[in-house]
Amino acid sequence: MANAIVAIVPMINHLEGCLMLEKNYSSSLENLRRKIDN
């Protein structure tokens, strides 16, 4: 059981990291669009 938890934690951290990257990427895209519009 403990082995399963040890295996799952890095996966969760990885998914959270991917989500953060996605948010940062989409927000930077929005900033680029605003600059282009202005």
- pTM for the full model? 0.56
- Dmax over CA atoms of the chain, in Å, equals 56
**DSSP string over 3-32:** HHHHHHHHHHHHHHHHHHHHHHHHHHHHHH
Provide the pLDDT for residue 38: 79
Residue-wise pLDDT tens digits, 1-38: 788 888 899 999 999 999 999 999 999 999 999 999 87
